[in-house]
Amino acid sequence: MSLWKYFRKGKILEKKQLDLLVALQDLDMMIEEISEMKRLGFSADREDELLKAREDLAAKIKKPLLYSYEKLKKRYKRAIVPVKEDNTCLGCFIRLPTSMSSIGRTDEEVIYCEGCGRILYWLT
Amino acid sequence: MTNEDLLIYFDEQLFLPDLLAKTKDDLFEEIVDQFVKVKYLKSREIVLEMLRQREKLGSTGVGKNVAIPHGRTTSASDIMIAFAKSKNGIEYDAIDGKPVNLIFMIIAPPQDENNMYLPLLGKMVEVLNKSKNRNKLMQAETFDEFMEILSKG
């Protein structure tokens, strides 16, 4: 069994879970850049509001998935990486199997890159 | 970053000189829908959520009738800027309380090549701080006129 099939096994999740993970990563990127926003002169004083929003969002994500996200984030900074039209993982730049992309494009499963292990998000 | 460098981040399809929106949330939806239509964004809902969360942190209405809603999203493929104009102005909860007429929405992917997102935001703030630029942009009706103003700004 290839590694990516191993990762797929038992990981069929509703589309919303992947959307929630992506929204969580977007929030994390925003939180990381708060000081830069302030330096540029933007209003960014209500950090506690964002932290609360993150907590609420994280509570909606299934625990094993959230754990996996946090672990990948710690290792790579970005747990979810986009996949472009040519089926390349933008985390490690390996070409992904076509069979993987046809499932990945539906957003109905959380699929991990067989090269770097990050969560894949197809942009097209 | 020079003004010329700025120009590559604009696209005529993301030039909206006459917004229909009358509220801040409608404004976000109208612009994001255009991003999705021209295939710069995958998910409308995820990006709208990101923009709304950004407003929780503090208003991106920077004053002087200008708003620069912005953020990184995993749903974007490239860094792009949409320009939109509301002739009547939109209540935006801006830092000076004034309605907003000029809107520059900046959307960036998690990893943009050369990490241009923050310098780009800084450059937009610099350009829009000049009253002559804001006045000219209020008059711009075509994409060519708009680009001309930015190139000289």
CB-based contact, A116 to chain B, within 8 Å: no
- Residues of A within 8 A of B75 (CB-CB) are 22, 26, 121, 123
Using the predicted structure, report yes or no on whether residue A14 has a pLDDT greater than 70.
no
Residue A81: count of CB within 10 angstroms of its CB: 24
Structural domain containing residue B59: 7-152
- Residues of B within 8 A of A26 (CB-CB) are 46, 49-50, 53, 71-75
Using the predicted structure, report yes or no on whether residue A5 has a pLDDT greater than 80.
no
Residue type, B78: D
B1 is a domain residue = no
- Residues of A within 8 A of B77 (CB-CB) are 82, 84, 123
Give the pLDDT confidence of A105-115 residue by residue, as tens digits: 877 789 999 99
Pick from A21, A24, A36, A43 the residue to mutate for testing the B interface (most B CBs within 10 Å). Answer: A43
The CATH number assigned to the domain holding B145 equals: 3.40.930.10
User: Is B104 in contact with B71 (CB distance < 8 Å)?
Assistant: no
Query: What ipTM does the predicted assembly reach?
Result: 0.89
- Residues of B within 8 A of A15 (CB-CB) are none
Q: At B85, give phi and psi (nearest 5°).
A: -135, 135
Radius of gyration for the alpha carbons in chain B, expressed in angstroms and rounded? 14
**Chain B residue with Cα closest to A27:** B50
Which pLDDT value is given to residue A72?
97
Total of domains in chain B: 1
B45 is a domain residue = yes
Cβ contact A49–B122 (<8 Å): no
The average pLDDT across A42-46 equals: 90
pLDDT tens for chain B, 153 residues long, are: 888 889 999 999 999 999 999 999 999 999 999 999 998 898 899 999 999 999 999 999 999 999 999 999 999 988 999 999 999 999 999 999 999 999 999 999 987 767 899 999 999 999 999 999 999 999 999 999 999 999 987
B83 is a domain residue = yes
Give the pLDDT confidence of A50-76 residue by residue, as tens digits: 999 999 999 999 999 999 999 999 999
B24 is a domain residue = yes
| Residues 6 or more apart in contact with residue B131 via CB below 8 angstroms | B64
Taking alpha carbons only, the member of B47, B53, B111 closest to residue B77 is: B111
| Residues 6 or more apart in contact with residue B64 via CB below 8 angstroms | B96, B98, B128, B131, B134
End-to-end CA distance of chain A: 27
- Residues of A within 8 A of B111 (CB-CB) are 78, 81, 90
Higher-pLDDT residue of A10, B125: B125
Cβ contact A121–B74 (<8 Å): yes
Cβ contact A30–B57 (<8 Å): yes
- Indicate the pTM of the whole model: 0.90
Using the predicted structure, report yes or no on whether residue A1 has a pLDDT greater than 50.
no
C-alpha–C-alpha distance, residues B89 and B87, integer Å: 6
B73 is a domain residue = yes
C-alpha–C-alpha distance, residues B123 and B120, integer Å: 5
